A and B are shown apart, each in its own frame.
Chain A
Amino acid sequence: MSSGPLIEIRRLYKSYTRGGQAIPVLTDVSFEIGRGEFLALMGPSGSGKSTLLNCLAGIDRVDSGEIVVNGQDITLLDETDLARWRSRSVGFIFQFYNLIPVLTALENVELPLLLTGLTRRERREHAAAALAAVGLSDRSDHYPAQLSGGQQQRVAIARAVVTDPDILVADEPTGDLDRTSAEEILTLMNRLNQELEKTIIMVTHDPRAAQEAHVLRHLDKGELSRAADTPGR
């Protein structure tokens, strides 16, 4: 499915300082993520998988190493450029959906488009199309509190794809959902990967969710513990 790496991760190191002591979180992590790949990152709690995901998404900094996306090393970008890069290249799917409670479903989806040059009308059209794609056109005026967990996560997915980013990062996207809703979300993510060729990086504890991925990588104590698996393929 992939045609050359979209993301090249080279010798990543990251540690946190606690009580004056440096605690390594990522140690010499290097691998590649192909264009259109659906990658699942697994590992025990504290293994560094969320930290790695955050670094790849450009919301956390590494101590050293390179993250080259589409030929551009994002570790060299300053904060403003990194924010701009995120808004164009990354869509986020969070465990607890992270929708803005005071905005309607449609407005939540429209939010990332406020950072583009689109007119209000164009923004509304794009947002409505994204909501339709996740099957929630009839819920566009609902506030997050009026939606079920599964529906909220679908709105979050619509928000993640509305700017048509190359990469979708998902941190435990099914972690807060019941089995049926989780299945719906995984199916939706699979569709995004298959039909829209989105590159998806997903952190999960859920083996069922990991089954949807093309590539499975395990992290343990900040290191990639073994070579990539190819579950369910």
Chain B
Amino acid sequence: MASVEVRKVHKRFGSVEVIHGIDATIEDGSFVVLLGPSGCGKSTLLRMIAGLEEITQGDISIGGRVVNNVPPKDRDIAMVFQNYALYPHMKVFDNMAFSLKLAKVDQATIQEKVKRAAGILNLGEYLDRYPRQLSGGQRQRVAMGRAIVRDPQVFLFDEPLSNLDAKLRVQMRTEIKALHQRLTSTSIYVTHDQIEAMTMADKIVVMRDGHIEQSGAPLQVYDKPNNLFVAGFIGSPAMNLLAGTLKSKSGARRVETDDGVALPLPANAPGSEGQRVVYGVRPDHLSMGNGAGGLDIEVSVIEPTGAETLVVGRLGMAEVQAAFRDRFAFKPGQRVPMTPLLDKIHLFDAGSGQRLT
């Protein structure tokens, strides 16, 4: 067990700086997800922790020991790769045993450790097969088995589920989470899939362009996004973001969009009169009906998913999405009144993109 500490870490490839001084703490035994769009530097950060990329500047320590100059095999980490990186010419058993063989562990211990890992992952009957003879999910499990066998202090996952089909991804998501609960080793998991992040993480670190935009517990990030980027990135379907100006009219505060739509605000809403803001409301925080401050939305598309109904419509010139647990049969062009839940409104400064508190 060990915590991982990232202090003022920079990474440059030639003259291009891809990570700009990141600080992060990954607590002992926690499951931390590095989340961000492709090119945000999350994989590079993970690879620096693994020791596959050099650290240009700053320190990374694992279990209190600075590992900048420690070779990967001595960092007490194991990594699961996106394409699994199984050795195609070795059987499953040998794939899992490879690190132990290199470390000159005796045969009996190798047998025992591999069998144990195979037991955890239900791979027992496949030990005698080659990777090509396995399905995607099984290969994924072998890759995890190879990591488990090493008994590492820190597990590193580099988008391990992105090569799987949707159904298998959901299943493996659960398996990885269950595995973490069982092994309780520190895990760092890189993904661009915010659903994976939300469902698996103890803590999410949202990254963009080599910076950390926000880190915190999944629901905290979901409920109180620090800025417009996080607000738009976390949550599916994405939060509705409408630009406008803060105004007061007969004592009630509201945001007026440029095409004249008035968006309701709670009385204690932050911000000053006349400030340019972005008004954010999640699709599931719009309720049907014409309450106080109701909005007149023109339906353009209805997307029933079975569990929910997603209504895509127009509010003024802007596109708005709303999700309902009930089933509605609106027709395109129909005008439907909807009301935002006032205590679920997010306000961001239009200039800086930062959350107004």
Co-assembled chains A and B? no
Task: Give residues in A with beta carbon < 8 Å to B.
Answer: none
